[in-house]
Amino acid sequence: MLIRRTYEDGALALALDSPANRNALSARLVGELREALEEAGKDPAVRFVVLGHTGTTFCSGADLTEAPPMGPPELVRLLRTVVELPKPVVARVDGHVRAGGLGLLGACDIVLAGETSSSFAFTEARIGVAPAVISLTLLPRLDPRAVSRYYLTGETFGVREAVRIGLVTAPDDASGPVLEGLRAASPQGLAASKALATEDVRAAFARDGERLAALSERLFSSAEARERIAAWRR
């Protein structure tokens, strides 16, 4: 299993547990995570989900070693599952997040990150592709000027900048009040409030999901991207 599950006092903790490949988004990991989320959505004992990780990387993005790689529609489906889950999903990051992993953060309702250990970067342009599918969860949430800078340059940035641009909610030392607040809320109140907060993101999936999945497939299958990915593998 690539998803570790633990339960405590209304919270289901799901940990990405594939540290050997830096919790890359393989077809297996994506499928197991989606299944765990769907089960959580139906379980009345689960009030909210906490999404974490093992190892020093939360998620490194697409698994570029898979052959064939996971298709973009599967990533769209996973991100949409997080956004449309009727229960809050809190990401707790204590490591590096790259590329597609950032889309997973964008899908979560609250993101908490350790200041000394966490870093973020959009690295897609460097291998000839673009942050296409993950834009569904990120463009409605992030500062537009920051999107232009970090999508294009691939620079690495830290927690304070991630908070400023809207990628991270707060440093991880805010976890106590956040989790206490979620436990104090009613299930109906949480579901209705989440639906309001995610209106723009859900609209992006309905409007642009198929188009951005097709763009991602086209870029990944291009000669330029194949050459860049092959060089990265070496």
Q: Report the catalytic residues.
A: 124
Q: Which distant-in-sequence residues (6+ apart) come within 8 Å of 223 by Cβ?
A: none
CB atoms within 10 A of CB 229: 17
Q: Which distant-in-sequence residues (6+ apart) come within 8 Å of 204 by Cβ?
A: 135, 136, 137, 139, 140
Terminal Cα-to-Cα distance of the chain (whole angstroms) = 28
Residue 179 DSSP SS3: helix
Q: What stretches of 119-222 show up as alpha helix (H) in DSSP? A: 135-138, 144-153, 159-165, 175-184, 187-197, 199-220
